[in-house]
Amino acid sequence: MAEEGFPVTTLVLPVTPGGDSAAVEQAARLVRAGRLVAFPTETVYGLGADATSTDAVERIFAAKQRPYSDPLIVHLAAAAALLSVAQEAPPLAWALAERFWPGPLTLVLRRAEGIPPVVAAGGPTVGVRVPAHAVARELIARAGVPIAAPSANRFMHTSPTTAAHVLADLDGRVDCVLDAGPCSVGVESTVLDLTRDPPRILRPGGVTFEALRALVPNVEAPTRSAPASDGEAPAILPAPGQLERHYAPRARVVVFDAQGPAALAAIAREAERYLARGERVGALMLDEEATALAGAGVHIQTLGPGDDLAEVSRRLYAALRALDELAPAVILSHTFGTSGLGLALWDRLRRAAGGSLRGVAAEDNGQP
Ligand code: TXA
Ligand code: MG
């Protein structure tokens, strides 16, 4: 028997930013009726519903099979509507909005009464952002309500950066997908907790730590470099809904925390172990690295040049999904440093790998 409310027929509506608005108006009507609309943002596709309606928001959790403990981000068409979602906004929130909105920055503030608890895992706060994608803002403006939206994937799975990715996870579970082509940022928004002092990054994302620090000099990075005095400290501070395994394809993922020749040598050695057993291997590689494994029988997805982490971010999830479709025994990758977008990539690759990264052996570092 089908789950209650599923399947529905998923309408796919092509849209172009600034183009004919009929499709966006149709989607906005569905939002107003309490239905689910997947829509493009600059980061990833979102699974949207009327943020002011408990029933509508509950449909999001059902469609994604997501636990209620994982809070949703509320999306606005413009910063001017901030106080419809947040009870109060400190001057710093307005300064950040002025500098980074519309864009991939989510601010965690105290939740306003008009936003039901189900949006925020029952807690007193709410995540809010104004997306940069024109179609997203037009949808919200036409709906006339703030739109709650997680990434439009099944719970814990790799986020979608195209409408086809949305359908692969949610066809028959959402009422409509607005298809505006691939997302331009490719990794999710940075989540910044402004309810504490100093503010803390809960999830690194499209707005870099360095960019935030320019405006918020005391902002806390999500990583902790020194272990706590009472023993082993987690590398990442806990944030609601941020599971150790997340953003993950079905295949096993192994990520070496290194770059350059050391990382390539570790990947080649690991690939060889699987290939020797006759197993299929996938690898994510920079353009300039692809030849290192050429002829080895490894399925390679390139991510762009190493000096362009914006391109690497844009392509990461599509590449993971493409490799996953081959049902490999393992997908191998390495990290891209922790500067700039490298930090968001580090975080997503680590979680895709189930929460831990591999070190590289001393001989791979050229050390005795
Ligand atoms: O780029 C993005 O942020 C995309 C697009 C669609 O906007 N959305 C997205 O949503 O990635 P989602 O639900 O997949 O991830 C949101 C995460 C939650 O898992 C949680 O870690 C954090 O944001 N979050 C949301 N509300 C929060 C709150 N009130 N307090 C702390 N963290 C919160
Ligand atoms: Mg998500």
Helix (H, G, I), strand (E, B) or coil at 100: helix
Report the pLDDT value the prediction gives residue 228, as an integer from 0 to 100: 40
In degrees, rounded to 5, the angle at the alpha carbon of residue 101 between the alpha carbons of residues 56 and 49 is 5
Q: Is the CB of 108 under 6 A from ligand 1?
A: yes
Helix (H, G, I), strand (E, B) or coil at 335: coil
pLDDT in tens, 29-39: 999 999 999 99
Q: What is the pLDDT of residue 17?
A: 82
104 CA: nearest ligand 1 atom: 1
Pairing of strands 281-285, 330-334: parallel
Please give the Cα distance from 302 to 159 (Å, whole number). 18
Ligand 1 geometric centre to CA of 204 (Å): 11
Q: Is 241 in the pocket of ligand 1 (CB under 6 A)?
A: yes
pLDDT value of residue 367: 44
- CA distance to 2, 36, 63, 150, 227, per residue, from 6 (Å): 6, 12, 8, 19, 47
Distance CA 33, CA 25 (A): 12
**CA-CA distance, 126 to 73, in Å (whole number)?**
7
The reported pLDDT for the residue numbered 68 is 94
- Residues 218-242 have pLDDT tens digits of 999 986 544 444 444 445 556 777 7
77 CB within 6 A, ligand 1: no
Q: What is the pLDDT of residue 223?
A: 65
CB of 176 within 8 A of CB of 183?
no
Segments of the chain scoring below 70 in pLDDT = 1-4, 223-238, 362-368
- The confidence score (pLDDT) of residue 354 equals 94
Tell me which H or E stretch contains 49.
strand 46-50
What atom of ligand 1 comes closest to residue 120's alpha carbon? 29
Q: Which ligand is nearest to the CA of 42?
A: 1
Q: What is the pLDDT of residue 124?
A: 97
Phi, psi of 143 (to 5 degrees): -65, -30
What is d(CA 325, CA 255) in angstroms, rounded to the nearest whole number? 19
Which residue has tokens 């024109």?
134
Closest ligand to 67 CA?
1
- For residue 363, the model assigns a pLDDT of 56
Q: Round to whole Å and give the CA distance between 287 and 271.
A: 18
**Confidence (pTM):** 0.94
